[in-house]
Amino acid sequence: MAMYALGMSVLQDVIAFEKTKVKQVAYADDLSGAGKLQDLSHWWGLIHANGPTIGYTPNAAKSFLIVKPEHYDGAVNIFSGSGIVVTKEGQRHLGAVIGTEEYKKEYVGEKVSEWVHEVDVLSAMAKTEPHAAYAAYTHGLQHRWNFVMRTIPDISPLLRPLEESIKNTFIPALLRSPVLRNDTRALLELPPRLGGMGITSPEKMAEVENLNSINLTRSLTDI
């Protein structure tokens, strides 16, 4: 990976912000850029022209241009013939999502449905193997939604079905208690060293995790 990064640095020099006015980030072979349409067109042209000479071949069919609805027609005209997919709805991006509120809700909703199913499976296990289920949840499953919470803002309401599954299905199965009061749920969110079980509420943690992520990466985004 280090050698790959060194090789990509040659292309990065060609498409640098100072030359293209496009804010960009690279993760392995995934390049992302943000800017005005004309600047992005120039940026893409430089990648297409200079990338193959160092072994980096851009794939237009897997490249997406996400624009606001009012800029959609202009984007289609500017990138006509490039093969790039232009969308005004949104698209997945490295495990997160960029786009409209409707697209974000759809994407997160699909994730939540998947996680709720996994919680249900673990809840069934908890009835006979509570310790194993608890360990699997706190050391594994609970971290499945961390990245989404950190990278997609304002999703607390969308995570409510997941919290309901944890509160009403998993924890009762774990504790063999059919009813879980709100104060008991709050206690179980605390870490074990404070008398809890470390079973956090994704609905409550979403905004905190997102703000923490923004603050921790501010040195990169404020450049």
- Residue range 123-152, pLDDT digits in tens: 999 999 999 999 999 999 999 999 999 999
pLDDT of residue 121: 96
Give a yes or no: residue 176 inside a domain.
yes
Number of domains in the chain: 2
Question: Residues 108, 20: one domain?
Answer: no
Question: Residues 42, 76: one domain?
Answer: yes
pLDDT of residue 105: 94
Give per-residue pLDDT as tens, 67-91.
999 999 999 999 998 899 999 999 8
Give a yes or no: residue 95 inside a domain.
no
Tell me the average pLDDT of the chain: 90
Question: Residues 107, 38: one domain?
Answer: no
Question: Residues 23, 112: one domain?
Answer: no
Question: Residues 123, 207: one domain?
Answer: yes
Q: Is 213 exposed, middle or buried (0-12, 13-18, 19+ CB in 10 A)?
A: middle
pLDDT of residue 2: 67
Question: Residues 84, 107: one domain?
Answer: no
Question: Residues 194, 127: one domain?
Answer: yes
This prediction has a pTM of 0.82
Give a yes or no: residue 19 inside a domain.
yes
Host domain of residue 184: 101-220
